[in-house]
Amino acid sequence: MPQRPYVIDQMISAKAIAARIEALSHEIEVEFSDTDKLVVVGLLRGSFVFIADLVREIDLPVEVDFLEASSYGNAMESSREVRILKDLRSPIEGRDVLVVEDIVDTGHTLHHVTGLLRSRNPRRLKTIALLDKPSRREAPFRADWIGFEIPDEFVVGYGIDFAQRNRNLPFIGKVRFTEAE
C-alpha cells in the first residue's frame, strides 16, 4: 500500500531537546544520588536516540537494558493491545530502574510495562518520557519526568518513526499530509 504524501513541520528543535535533556539529567541525578548503579531501560524502538543522549548526561553509574513493547505496528493509531517483543536481559529485583520512553500517548504501553516491571520488585522504579500528549490519555499513567508536553499531533524524528521512516531527524516534527499531485 503506497503511503500518502506528507511533509514534516519542525515542532521542537535539536537545540531545545539537548537543553531539556541536560536539565532532566540533573533532576534524575538528585533522585538517584544514593544508587550504586542505575538501570536505564529504554523502550524500543522509539527511545533509542533519547536514551543515548540521556545516559551521556547522567553523572551516575548506569547500566543500559532494553525492552521492546508494541501497540502501534505501522499504524498511526494505537491498537491498545500491548505486546512485549523483547524482554530485559538482566533481573531488576532490588535495583534502581529508570524506564525511558519516547512518547506517552494513550498511556497503555507505559501502564502495562511499569506494571510488569514493578512485579519484578525493583528497589525504585521511575519513568521519563521525551514527549507527552495528555489530551490522548486513556490509561491512568503519568511519567515522573516529561521532556515536552505536546498537542495531539502525529510526530516523528529524534528516534520516533512513521512506518519506520524519519527516525533519523535531529528534531521533533509534526507530520502534515499533503494532497497527491
CATH of the domain at 160: 3.40.50.2020
Give residue 20's domain range.
6-29+38-71+93-177
Domain presence at residue 119: yes
Q: For residues 45 and 161, is the Cβ–Cβ distance under 8 A?
A: yes
Domain presence at residue 65: yes
What is the crossing angle of helices 48-57 and 14-31, to 10°? 60
Which H/E stretch holds residue 171?
none
Measured between alpha carbons, how far is 74 from 45 in angstroms, rounded to an integer? 12
Annotated catalytic residues are 105
Domain presence at residue 86: no
Please tell me the predicted confidence (pLDDT) of residue 164.
86
Sign of CA dihedral 91, 42, 135, 74: negative
Domain presence at residue 53: yes
Sign of CA dihedral 120, 138, 68, 95: negative
Burial 166-175 (b: 16+ CB within 10 A, else e): bbebebbbbb
Q: Is 158 left (phi over 0), alpha (psi -120 to 50) or beta?
A: left
Per-residue pLDDT of the chain (181 residues; tens, 9 = 90+): 457 889 999 999 999 999 999 999 999 999 999 999 999 999 988 899 999 999 999 999 999 999 998 765 544 555 567 788 999 999 999 999 999 999 999 999 899 999 999 999 999 999 999 999 999 999 989 999 999 999 999 999 999 998 889 999 999 999 999 876 5
Q: For residues 109 and 71, is the Cβ–Cβ distance under 8 A?
A: yes
Please tell me the predicted confidence (pLDDT) of residue 131.
98
Q: What is the pTM (predicted TM-score) of this model?
A: 0.90
Question: How many folded domains does the chain comprise?
Answer: 1
145 has which bridge partners? Answer: 128
Domain presence at residue 164: yes
Please tell me the predicted confidence (pLDDT) of residue 1.
44
Measured between alpha carbons, how far is 60 from 106 in angstroms, rounded to an integer? 31
Domain presence at residue 76: no
Measured between alpha carbons, how far is 172 from 25 in angstroms, rounded to an integer? 19
Domain presence at residue 85: no
84 has which bridge partners? Answer: 69
Helices (H), 84-177: 108-118
Domain presence at residue 50: yes
